[in-house]
Structure 1
Amino acid sequence: MWKRFIFKNELSEELSPIVKESWIRSNKRKVDPFQPYGHIKKIEMKRYKSLIDWALPLMEGLYSIVKGSGFLVILCNEKGQLLKSIGDPDTLEKAAQIGFVEGADWSEQTMGTNAIGTSIVIDQPVQIVAEEHYSQICQSWTCSAAPIHDSKGCIIGVLNVSGPYEKVHPHTLGMVVSAVKAIEYQLKLNEKTEKNIMMQRFLEATTNNMKESILIIDTEGNIIKANDQLKKILCLDQSSLEEKNINEIFTNKSIVSNSPVYLQNKELHLKVKPSRNIHHVMVDKIPIYKDQQWIGSMIMLKEIEKVRQFVNHLSGNQAKITFDDIIGQHPYFIQKVKEAKLSAATDSNVLILGESGTGKDMFAQAIHNESKRKSRPFIAINCAGIPRDLLGSELFGYVDGAFTGAKKGGSAGKFELADGGTLFLDEIGEMSLEMQVLLLRVIQEKEVVRIGGHKVIPVNVRIIAATNKNLRDEVKKGSFREDLFFRLNVMPITLPPLRERKEDIPLLTHHFIEKLSKKLHKPFPEIMPDFLQVLTQYDWPGNIRELQNILERTLNRSTESSLTAKDLPEEVFQMFSGQKKEEILLHRDDIKKQSIIQALRLFNGNITKAAKHLGISRSTFYRQMKKFNIPYS
């Protein structure tokens, strides 16, 4: 049948379909049936190392069965190239004579019909005997081969057993198939193990790069695993941690119980004293189950200080003002800015004094942003804006159940939230004497105790206080504690009212109108001299805050491209002996004359500075002086 096909291209119906179809494919590919030996190609053996390692024990098992019978056990790659051969020495030598050695290409495309190459093409086990082989050099052999698949079903190799054709037996193919199934099973186990190892590495890398500390405990509280962050906090290595029970780390034993319990945002203290003095943490505990049975828990720790920083960032507890935002050129005001910058270089308490609206809160923020605490929280609290019975809980916090209506789980106070940063106590003069006693203790001891609690919490807070009262007078009256006054009055800064720095009014006016124009989506208007002259003569009892208010109201109402004195509200003209706005505007020359006289007085006769202050040129200033008969000083 082979001869008739090779020489006459006649196919016998007695051939098996697998062989018949393979002969046809081989013929179409013009495979030489009389080639004297196989083709040897170079193989990158490293690529197949794992396949060889897993297949070799089973190949050796197969060989132990056929040893001495003239059979070979052969492993090939997915292309049909020989990777490994095991057999009797004389059989290996006989195979070598036809090039059937490691590296030989025994694919169907190269050698025609054979068990190795044909099993790859049809992707199923096959036995090829004697003249069923397309190439004549293979016809003294019987070969039984089965493809090896990976977990995705792709062929990754072939296992083959070859021997003398007269010893053919169907059980041989059965042994090969069984061995292949065993190899595939081992490969799947290996792949699963590698995936588990890879997943473990991914999880370790993930947990070790998390900001939170994580540990796994069993049902008895024994530590099984911890991430790098926890090791850093506790200054312990993995082996030291695994020797510990969770109760050796936390002061509160309730974190471990004989039943699965969820915990969320539980405040606990560490027993192990770390080198960075981190001892106060927030804890979450999540039970772990296997087949609905509790086998342990995962515990996540967050340093309370970092939690507070995050909360402060979200809640806007950050200082936004710097000294660059503080506007003023008056010599006395500049001196106060210098004093504030000096105080920022220290860690001492600051007391800012001044009338309402002079910018005490701005100075407090600027001092914080200039200090070494600038990256930490800045928390402000208005002592006059909180009822006396609630001020204590706001400042010092409270524990669960401290009073009716207390938040479940308690709440941290402003001192705790400001830890490491600055606490700005505005309107400190309005604080009750009872609260002053508690505040003094916190400042002295640098620790707080929450209302209703007993635990002492260390705090590192810089105090900046502010008031519009004369605290020395309040001390004499007995409404402010002298010892607290001296604690706060380490770096005093007294801000001048706006009426004492009127030369800054044009500068402030331009600054505020520029900001307000953007805010109100209006073009920046031209500011006329009479507009500034009226503003300069007003005494501003509400100081900078009142100026800003007046300018915003004026800009909102204005429909012109310029701002003149007539655009200002009635109240700004109150200093003109009770005259109405309309009457005053009829006598603008009087306003101009008074403005020039006042500017000369402010700048001790310096024409250049006085003209600049009024927003006019020197030549115009001279003409106005001549017009109003104002003598040169």
Structure 2
Amino acid sequence: MDIALRLPETAKIVQETFLYKRTLEFEVDRPVQAWRWMNQTRSVPDQSDWVRPEVAEAWRRCLEDYQLPLGNFANWQRSGQGVVGGDAQSRQIAESLADLGHQFHVFLKEAGVMLVLTAADGALLQALGENPFPSPFMRNLYEQNSRWSEAVLGNNGIGSAALLKRPVAFQGMEHFLSLLHPFSTVGYPLLDDSGELLAVIGLIADRQESMNSLFAFLHLLCVVLNTNLPLTRSPAAQARVLEKIPFKLAKRPPQTEEPAMSEQLAALVDKAVKLQQYKIPILITGESGVGKDHFVNLLKHAGPRREQPLIAINCASIPHDLIESELFGYEAGSFTGARSGGKPGKFLLADGGILFLDEIGDMSLDLQSTLLRVLETSEFTPVGGAKPIRVDVQIVAATNVPLLDAVEAGRFRRDLYYRLNGAQIHLPPLRERQDKQAIIHHILQRELAKMPNAQAIGICPSVIALIEQHPWPGNIRQLINVIRATLYTAGGNFITREDLPVDFVAELAKTARESEPELEASPRASQPGRAMTLEDWELYGIKTTLRACAGNISQAAKALGITRTTLYKKIDRFGLSRMASE
């Protein structure tokens, strides 16, 4: 079968992009920093060295052209649009893929990757290979006619290749949608002689070290589909060529992606599910980094609104001038610079689902007043609009700030506090959790499984003991950062104490040596009979980390698992100096 297709001439350029040897700092940290910046500010970072220009431009399309919400939400309601099954030419390509030799299917299975073929509009026509990704999200993506276009999933190799008509690849947190962060996606467009897009072939892998091999495999597929060479008709010839592609066998972790929940955590999730059934507002409290956002995902997927959107708002990052337009949206022409088609607000996007108000304790007073009115009536009017809109939204708020103290200090409205605090769920810090060691070992095994040479890596028992003994003031977020930094920067295959981050070791030593003097020096802890509060522990963790990092804000923020902006705010709030010597 000879299909009149041609390979895009820009394929070599994209391959050279990934052949370029990037520094470890860029490969591991920069996309993470950039995505978190975008998540907090809802704007593409200006720093050109944070992400590739292709990534920044793709994020800009997601924010401005498609107005996609950040987080785990995908526009599944759009998935029914478009031509079902593709046109005759794309169906012919699908039949050709189905006729490929057994060796191609074995290669996909052993490499642990999925191959997809989509029509020009992004509708899935075919998926090959056993699905190695057990999440419900990935299962939905492999259903017939599911949408891979940018307007639905944000930037991804397949959808972006269809839009740009050239090979495209994204790794990890280069994806706009957080549910795609564990994966690499590569797309190769198939064009006819006039340059029109017929279909896109794509690969999805949960490893990021084999991008060049993914391109080589896709290139081979395009050759097979496009020619009448003996290679296309000989399974033996196909096997010999596939052997030349340096793709390592997939290494699957022995456990599932998420560890079994402890009885304590399972009870909290059950409580949250019962509260959702009666639409009672939920207030989640706990120190920074304990996993409040992860808990919100657990309660969503276990609750009655599991099929509906989850929209998250970082209450501390909304600019004062954009409060109403962000929350309630605006009508076309409502103010200078408004989009011609208007813009939906967070409340409308969350209609039928869950609205997650993160960092509610840092919300400005102006925003508190605005929010209270909507919570009382479940109605809002878009900026420039005339008619109120009623929504059905489950409110979930989270904070690491003692809200009652904030109420007494006049920083938080009392009426809003009682409106949000329908029921309170407290997530304990990592150091107090009964399943602390199980969490540490699960995260360690999960991160090890992502390494290209996982089976060859050994860890000194003293390193594991230090990790288990650490108080983890930054909680699970800090734990993940330390483990990743240790694994990715280790000098060899056997990890010793010398491979641990310097600030981590210094923090552990100071905690053991100075914990009692530090606690006595705390003005809040010095009061007789007064127990340490969450805010006291937060202050203690920040002071210890700043001292260990010699006042380096970037290092301290990284060790604590927060952004530099957030750390500056906390330093100002507690009245600390950079050296935390006060």
Report the TM-score range of the alignment, normalised by the length of the smaller protein.
0.3 to 0.5
Per chain length, whose mean CA-contact separation is higher, i.e. which structure has more relative contact order (CA < 8 Å, sep 6+)? Answer: 2
More strand by share: 1
Task: Give TM-score, length-normalised by structure 2.
Answer: 0.42
